[in-house]
Structure 1
């Protein structure tokens, strides 16, 4: 994802998450950390005929993102999936799995030892996707999604690089 993708991403964001859509500033802020040697974010978009039909983002925290590997005394790093969104007309096409695969590939490139995410407790389709990739439920965040006071299911994947074994390449734009 690049700065020129923000406007079409915002349109999709407002359609899919009308009550808690990210702002333009939130995307700008994360993209500011997505380039260069100290990058701690990876955002990607999926396009069909030049139109953005999905996007996803990952944030990394820990020593590897700061330049210190485990072999140099670091404790490894973790990543948080910030967002995955797929246009409604593309639901059920495997695009969500492709976006997730790309984020896990990025987590592996960042040498992450685990990946975390929050998912609405009422979003069963997303939960099933994450479970297929090896994520396990580890807890809840009560009232995390506002408005509506909807709980979040916290999920974790340990060693994302092993999940990617055998996964074919995707056509996602980074």
Structure 2
């Protein structure tokens, strides 16, 4: 693969990309929002006790600010393989190339968005989300650690997400 590969991170990819990164840029994706709308049966929960993970959920007028990562040259094929192993483990995510904006201009980035027709797609109110996140654990650890790490890294980057902040505080109160 010779073209530059950019990957849009909005959740755990921000703090654990899992591939060699040549460059990072704060980026915004229009028409999608960061949401705990995917039941996690592998990484942050189990089939018997699902957790919740973030996904990009399409919504008119929405936007999501995250990080665009430029994959290190020569690492594109290995990165795609690793990302597909990680993100497409249950086919709840769809792999799409989407336009994002950065301070230095627009670019197209690979992103993993929720399939709204998949059985793992859900819409829970914030309190239900907090209850699930507070108790779930999966193959990559506790669901609450995933939430807290994502919220902390967004804050470090100066990216405001009041819903995530509310959830982080509520899960702390529950645990």
The TM-score with structure 1 as length reference comes to: 0.29
More strand by share: 2
Relative contact order: is structure 1 or structure 2 higher (C-alpha 8 Å, sep ≥ 6)?
A: 2
The TM-score with structure 2 as length reference comes to: 0.29
